[in-house]
């Protein structure tokens, strides 16, 4: 499917005569790209608009709404995000930031016929999902933070509690696992009905944390107890292509424990052909690849506490754009991630939990969004990561399904230093380069395709440059 190709970025310090204002290049590097050495397939980049964040987009005046949607999903002018994580509600209300459930009333027992209620909005997420479809997004991850209260040991959507019927957790009302599987399938069918195909389903969010908001506890064995019900239920509903995810743990290490429990209970393969191992990185940073045959997604992370910043680089803070570029690079090159999702795209308030600060009439964009855009706009779903080796820059390389080669190179170095790059060995027909830095937001910059097939370009100090070579 992907032809082998050997590319070599060669250090080519620019000649003083070729540049109007002579600069000092203190570093030059060679990045070798070997497309015959392949790694994981990329599914994309994304975010969630759960807990009513979506309504911030819904409620914007039309021109601002369109420009914000372009910023998020447009592959020409925006970030080209390719995955939306949709929250599956469990609340009895959609006031404030609550996500309402499709089954507000208990049918009385697990075997009784449920009454589902669909409001056609799903806390604003229907609108955002349909807009995403219109931009070509094909990957939709439905994720429940909790089952409805009546299916749980604590009879509450909040404060943890377990799904009735998993190992060690019994309820007087019975075993609600099948009812919860049916519920998730019904929710997916509502989305199919409005033109949004749910491709992945998750039934847990941070299952080690009994949060004061919607939350449900589980260990790996207990997750397996539910997967063993959900898989055959999906298959019976003609949804065998829907991948089950496990388990959106709070941190990489705890996700490893959940995976081990899932495996020892014999449920790993039941996640399905498109099943995923999913983790957040709040309590444990990105680590070694998980021991699994499934793809891995980093499904949620953000700087929850830092004061709002739009900076690319200021002090190396957790909310700065360049910090996020490094995170994405590490996820792709060290942790075998096939997807990387920020927490939310939009929110009000003075924190960095979002990429875009939205109020009633307008919005402000942080450089976090542009860090994502440098990867997401050109590395499209189905791309294969290939080897990129060399020192001095954090480069990664991806071959898209259309044969184009995308090479984001991050220079975290200090001082007014540029590395001049070139490569050889590919018969590309054109090259473009895009840069984000303190003063630029995915701006086109020069890159030269030599007659010998080499490409040369520069990566400025504290800059991220994405080279795109078209076949």
Ligand X SMILES: *[C@@H]1O[C@H](CO)[C@@H](O)[C@H](O)[C@H]1NC(C)=O
Would you count residue 425 as binding ligand X (CB under 6 A)?
yes
CA–CA gap between residue 361 and residue 280 (Å, rounded)? 32
CA–CA gap between residue 460 and residue 435 (Å, rounded)? 9
CA–CA gap between residue 452 and residue 450 (Å, rounded)? 5
Would you count residue 135 as binding ligand X (CB under 6 A)?
yes
Q: Tell me how far, at minimum, the Cβ of 135 lies from ligand X, in Å.
A: 5
Kind and range of the H or E element at 338? Answer: strand 337-347
What angle do helix axes 220-236 and 177-193 make, rounded to 10 degrees? 50
Would you count residue 218 as binding ligand X (CB under 6 A)?
no
Question: Which one, of 226, 231, 232, lies nearest residue 207 by Cα?
Answer: 226
Would you count residue 34 as binding ligand X (CB under 6 A)?
no
Nearer to ligand X, 414 or 427 (CB): 427
Sole residue written with tokens 């027992």? 109
Would you count residue 413 as binding ligand X (CB under 6 A)?
no
Would you count residue 174 as binding ligand X (CB under 6 A)?
no
CA–CA gap between residue 360 and residue 274 (Å, rounded)? 39
Would you count residue 264 as binding ligand X (CB under 6 A)?
no
Task: Provide the token pair at 134.
Answer: 């219109």
Nearer to ligand X, 437 or 454 (CB): 454
Would you count residue 215 as binding ligand X (CB under 6 A)?
no
DSSP secondary structure letter of residue 113: P
Question: Which one, of 115, 4, 9, lies nearest residue 421 by Cα?
Answer: 9
Q: Tell me how far, at minimum, the Cβ of 173 lies from ligand X, in Å.
A: 27
Q: Is residue 186 within 8 Å of 261, Cβ to Cβ? A: no
Piece of 148-156, 176-184, 218-226, 419-427 that binds ligand X (CB under 6 A): 419-427
End-to-end CA distance of the chain: give it in Å, rounded.
15
Would you count residue 336 as binding ligand X (CB under 6 A)?
yes
Would you count residue 295 as binding ligand X (CB under 6 A)?
yes
Three-state DSSP state, 431? strand
Q: Tell me how far, at minimum, the Cβ of 71 lies from ligand X, in Å.
A: 10
Q: Tell me how far, at minimum, the Cβ of 87 lies from ligand X, in Å.
A: 20
Would you count residue 76 as binding ligand X (CB under 6 A)?
yes
Piece of 73-81, 84-92, 366-374, 393-401 that binds ligand X (CB under 6 A): 73-81
Q: Tell me how far, at minimum, the Cβ of 26 lies from ligand X, in Å.
A: 32
CA–CA gap between residue 309 and residue 318 (Å, rounded)? 10
Question: Which one, of 433, 419, 422, 409, lies nearest residue 456 by Cα?
Answer: 422
Number of residues that bind ligand X (CB under 6 A): 21
Question: Which one, of 463, 415, 414, lies nearest residue 442 by Cα?
Answer: 463
Nearer to ligand X, 238 or 350 (CB): 238
CA–CA gap between residue 456 and residue 398 (Å, rounded)? 18
Would you count residue 70 as binding ligand X (CB under 6 A)?
yes
Piece of 88-96, 207-215, 247-255, 425-433 that binds ligand X (CB under 6 A): 425-433
Would you count residue 338 as binding ligand X (CB under 6 A)?
yes
The CA angle 468-134-310, to the nearest 5 degrees, is 60
Would you count residue 427 as binding ligand X (CB under 6 A)?
yes
Would you count residue 195 as binding ligand X (CB under 6 A)?
yes
Piece of 131-139, 160-168, 344-352, 413-421 that binds ligand X (CB under 6 A): 131-139
Q: Tell me how far, at minimum, the Cβ of 77 lies from ligand X, in Å.
A: 4
Residues binding ligand X (CB under 6 A)? 5, 40, 70, 74, 76-77, 133, 135, 138, 195, 197, 237-238, 289, 293, 295, 336, 338, 425-427
């Amino acid at each position: 499917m992907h032809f082998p190709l050997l590319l070599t970025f060669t250090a080519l310090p620019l000649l003083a005569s070729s540049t109007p204002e002579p600069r000092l290049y203190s570093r030059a590097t060679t990045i070798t790209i070997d497309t015959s050495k392949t790694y994981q397939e990329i599914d994309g980049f994304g975010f969630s608009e759960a807990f009513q964040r979506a309504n911030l987009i819904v409620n914007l005046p039309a021109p601002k709404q369109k420009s914000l949607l372009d910023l998020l999903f447009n592959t020409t002018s925006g970030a080209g995000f390719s995955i939306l994580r949709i929250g599956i509600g469990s609340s009895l209300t959609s006031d404030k930031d609550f996500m309402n459930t499709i089954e507000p009333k208990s049918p009385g027992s697990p075997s009784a016929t449920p009454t589902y209620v669909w409001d056609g909005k799903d806390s604003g997420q229907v609108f955002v999902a349909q807009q995403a479809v219109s931009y070509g997004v094909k990957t939709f991850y439905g994720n429940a933070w909790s089952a409805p209260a009546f299916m749980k040991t604590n009879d509450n959507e909040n404060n943890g509690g377990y799904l009735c019927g998993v190992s060690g957790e019994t309820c007087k009302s019975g075993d609600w696992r099948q009812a919860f599987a049916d519920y998730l399938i019904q929710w997916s069918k509502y989305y199919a009905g409005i033109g949004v195909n749910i491709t992945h389903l998750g039934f847990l969010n941070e299952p080690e944390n009994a949060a004061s908001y919607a939350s449900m506890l589980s260990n790996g064995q207990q997750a397996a107890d539910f997967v063993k019900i959900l898989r055959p239920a999906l298959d019976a509903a003609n949804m065998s292509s829907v991948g089950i995810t496990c388990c959106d743990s709070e941190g990489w290490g705890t996700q490893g424990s959940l995976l081990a429990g899932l495996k020892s209970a014999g449920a790993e393969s039941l996640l399905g052909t498109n099943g995923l191992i999913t983790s957040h990185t709040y309590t444990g940073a990105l680590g070694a690849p998980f021991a699994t045959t499934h793809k891995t997604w980093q499904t949620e992370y953000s700087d929850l506490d830092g004061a709002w910043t739009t900076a690319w680089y200021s002090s190396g803070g957790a909310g700065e754009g360049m910090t996020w570029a490094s995170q994405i690079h590490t996820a792709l090159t060290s942790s075998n991630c096939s997807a990387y999702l920020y927490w939310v795209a939009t929110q009000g308030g003075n924190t960095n939990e979002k990429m875009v600060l939205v109020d009633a009439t307008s919005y402000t964009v942080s450089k976090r969004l542009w860090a994502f855009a440098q990867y997401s706009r050109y590395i499209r779903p189905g791309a294969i990561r290939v080897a990129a080796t060399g020192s001095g820059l954090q480069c990664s390389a991806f071959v898209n399904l259309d044969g184009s080669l995308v090479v984001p190179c991050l220079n975290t170095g200090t001082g007014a230093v540029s590395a001049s790059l070139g490569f050889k060995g590919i018969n590309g027909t054109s090259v473009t380069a895009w840069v984000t830095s303190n003063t630029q937001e995915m701006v086109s910059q020069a890159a030269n395709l030599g007659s010998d097939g080499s490409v040369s370009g520069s990566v400025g100090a504290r800059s991220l440059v994405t080279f795109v070579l078209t076949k």
